[in-house]
Amino acid sequence: MKVALFVPCYVDQFYPQVAIASLQLLAKLGVAAAFPKQQTCCGQPMANSGCEQDAKPVYHHFVDTFQDYDYVVGPAGSCVYHVRQHFDIIDQTPAVQHVRTATVELFDFITQVLGVTEIPGRYPHKVGLHLSCHGQRGLHQANESEMTPVRDGQLRRLLAGLDGLELTELDRNDECCGFGGTFCVSEAGISARMGQDRVADHLRHGTQVLTGGDMSCLMHLEGIVRRRQLPLRVLHAAEILNGALA
């Protein structure tokens, strides 16, 4: 099985530790992931801004970069969702079709492809899980409150399986954090307010470590946490799971 690590552009530049943790976590689970260094970005920032046509060269570059791999694994539900969902505007060559289905979110890969549903390890903290909308509603990685009162999902289960880890229960389990890509600057006021409300929900319920599967949401929430100097650590779930797994 030939696996590539897809490192979203902002993770590469600002959160290298998340990509490192993803790589190491995969290695511990027996997968030696390659890092094709030609990779840049999925093109979502342009497309979400209404410039899908401008994103086409980026889409082609993405496909060229990853077409020789069986799986393209990324620690970011939103970017993965974009590749799978929105690469439909370029010619659907076999390579494009392959890359769209082969691109998988990190925890989908671990649980669905590798079949690993429990990671042994210890993490004695109160952890608040932030569900990324594209991961949850787009990739169906977790139950949705619009459909059912049962709060469940694969990342929730992986985290809950760690010794000593206590998941905090929020008032609003799956409210959007307000990042929204370029929304975070074009609608900066609402975006910030949404993030502040999300962080407040976590603080109210005792979250010590705020985590999730999508670093873009977490980058936004971390920005608020740091501005307000709040007692919260923000970590990608790959960092927690990699750290806990011997």
Of 19, 1, 7, 231, the residue nearest 125 (C-alpha): 231
Judged by CB under 8 A, the chain residues 47 through 106 that form the site for another protein are: 47-55, 57-58, 60-61, 65, 68, 86
By CB under 8 A, name the one of 126, 160, 182, 245 that touches another protein: 182
Asked if 183 touches another protein (CB under 8 A), the answer is yes
Number of Cβ within 10 Å of residue 119's Cβ equals 21
Is 231 an interacting residue with respect to another protein (CB under 8 A)? no
Exactly one of 29, 116, 197, 205 binds another protein (CB under 8 A); which one? 197
* Residue 161 identity: G
CB of 225 to another protein, least distance (A): 8
The span from the CA of 182 to the CA of 45, in Å, is: 6
Q: How many residues bind another protein (CB under 8 A)?
A: 86
Q: Residues 24 to 43: which contact another protein by CB under 8 A?
A: 27, 32-41, 43
Tokens at 31, concatenated: 């997968």
Does 191 participate in binding another protein (rule CB under 8 A)? Answer: yes
Q: Which of 120, 193, 204, 206 binds another protein (CB under 8 A)?
A: 193
Measured CA to CA, the distance from residue 19 to residue 34 in angstroms comes to 12
Tokens 């900066």 — which residue?
188
CB 244 within 8 A of CB 122: yes
